[in-house]
Amino acid sequence: YDVSQDYMQKALSIALAKDAKEDVCYAVQGLATVYYNQKKFDDALRELESLEVFFQVISVPEVELSAKLLTAQIYKYKQRHEEALDLLWEDYDSIRDHKKVYMQS
């Protein structure tokens, strides 16, 4: 996962330098996913929380939904089941509308 982490950090640096907000969102989501796979849940949550700032400025529905699903997964692993369920119920309609994205992968 070290190589993946390096690539995501490089992508994030490039996106920030170019002020490409959508690319920043994808890079941060990618970095959070790497941290999740490394079981660095607190680091992943920190990255996911930073995405919330970007979602106030730019709409990237697929990344936003993916971030919420990853957050729910992390909550589950951290035994924060109520928070995971609350998050999933909040976004039920969005999950239903975008299910094709996740069913294909």
> What's the one-letter identity of residue 29?
Q
pTM given for the model: 0.84
Average pLDDT, the chain: 89
Residue with tokens 């699903």: 69
DSSP code at position 39: T
pLDDT band at 67 (very low <50, low <70, confident <90, very high): very high
Per-residue pLDDT tens over the stretch 14-26: 999 999 999 999 9
Report the alpha-carbon distance of residue 40 to residue 75 in Å, rounded.
12
DSSP code at position 44: H
